Copies of this chain bind each other. A is one copy, B any other.
Amino acid sequence: MNNFTFFSPTEFVFGRDTELQTGKLIRKHAARRVLIVYGGGSAVRSGLLGRIETSLDAAGVFHISMGGIQANPVDGPVYKGIEIARRNEIDLVLAVGGGSVIDTSKAIAAGVPYEGDFWDFYIGKAKVTKALRVAVVLTIPAAGSEGSGNSVITKESTRQKMSLRAPEQLRPVFAVMNPVLTFTLPAWQTAAGITDMMAHIFERYFTNTPAVTVADRMCEGVLQAIIEEAPKVITCPNGYDARANIMWCGMVAHNGTCGVGCEEDWATHFMEHEISAHYGVTHGAGLAVMFPAWLTWMANHHVERVALWAHRVWGVAEQSDLRAQALEGIARFKAFLQQIGMPTDFKSLGVPNPDIPLLVDSLHRNKGEYVGAYVRLTRKDSEEIYRLAL
């Protein structure tokens, strides 16, 4: 097991009607002037934004709102949010939404006290040393951004999709998680979110670090819970308990609970970022296409953990032929993805003729000569994996 730090200071307030506590929580964290960031009109139409504003008013908290954040969030709204926040002397950015809204809020929070271009943080030109506080009312369980210090933003002019990690500054101070708010999430987005949270666990589980028993068992346990609850939320979107289990799985998949002491991989996420940056697909759907391809390639090159995963997570019987064991697990994973409505190849993703040389070039230009850690992928390797997804 490797040395590690686990630091998850976010206060998670989970359950029915918890959004009514937002104002009180903001006061508890000593903030007074709030920028509310949200996505489409559904937060307005559903009355959620109104309930939150009422809660803020009751707590005597100043607030101003900025909507219109879209999936695969881009840099434009970040600049706009920074300007609004500066002009209104905001001290906390409240994200009402899912990963895109939260990641935009984190970018705004980092950008406000910084004199240069916030994009500097995403290309490694500058480090975040101070930021406004960020808090969350979660409506889409998927990215796990409510419990992480990470943010992913795409620069529109260059189609660069880059990530920033600054847990000490950008981890939300609190996250309100009411499963009822996810009842209206369409099946497609629900399934893409489920795929994303599973992928966050895979990126930790596929490791070469030896003797990480507790990390393995917790990863396997959360995956088993997702596999059990996912079909329920697809067939019965208003079932509270299944929605609640899925919502919490999305958080623990990415706040550091899973995978302690493991070297992490992240190759598949980076490969997917190129697809969503260039073709605008849903991140989770892109992962549903790329993870089976990555796993299939690994079954031929570094099979051990894939075979273990097939046995423990998918219930495949142990056998002497580890590759066959691994491939049976991958087949069950693909069947699961199809059952919840996800694509598992480029064609069903709606990108029948991807420009693979472009994706490979962009991947290695953004991430370097080698990508990933379970196997360090060369350009030749990543090209092979993209082709396995055709």
Contacts and interface: CB of A to CB of B under 8 A. Distances in A.
Interface of A: 1-16, 18, 210-214, 216-218, 220-222, 224-225, 228-229, 240-242, 244-245, 248-249, 252, 257, 260-261
A8 B210 CA distance: 27
A217 B222 contact: yes
Contacts of A13: 5
What is the count of identical protomers in the complex? Answer: 2
Nearest to A1: B244
Contacts of A8: 8-9
A89 B261 CA distance: 38
Given A4-B15, A14-B4, A248 B225 contact: no
A311 B261 CA distance: 29
B241 A260 contact: no
A280 to B, nearest CB: 32
Contact of A3 (B18, B216, B224): B18
A221 B258 CA distance: 11
A95 to B, nearest CB: 19
Given A1-B241, A2-B15, A217 B211 contact: no
A218 B251 CA distance: 13
A245 B3 contact: no
Nearest to A211: B241
A233 to B, nearest CB: 12
Contacts of A14: 3-6, 260-261
A315 to B, nearest CB: 13
Max chain B C-beta neighbours (<10 A), residue from A1, A213, A248: A213
Contacts of A228: 213
Contact of A218 (B9, B222, B229, B240): B222
A10 B5 CA distance: 10
A224 B229 contact: no
Contact of A11 (B5, B220, B222, B248): B5
A248 to B, nearest CB: 5
Given A214-B225, A217-B225, A229-B213, A6 B1 contact: no
21 contacts: A1-B15, A1-B245, A2-B15, A3-B14, A3-B16, A4-B14, A5-B12, A5-B13, A7-B10, A211-B241, A211-B242, A211-B244, A213-B228, A213-B245, A214-B245, A216-B225, A217-B225, A218-B225, A220-B221, A248-B260, A257-B257
A6 B172 CA distance: 13
A131 to B, nearest CB: 17
Contact of A214 (B18, B210, B252): B252
A218 B12 CA distance: 18
A33 B46 CA distance: 52
A261 B4 CA distance: 27
Contacts of A210: 241
Contacts of A220: 221
Given A6-B12, A13-B5, A214 B222 contact: yes
A146 to B, nearest CB: 12
Nearest to A14: B4
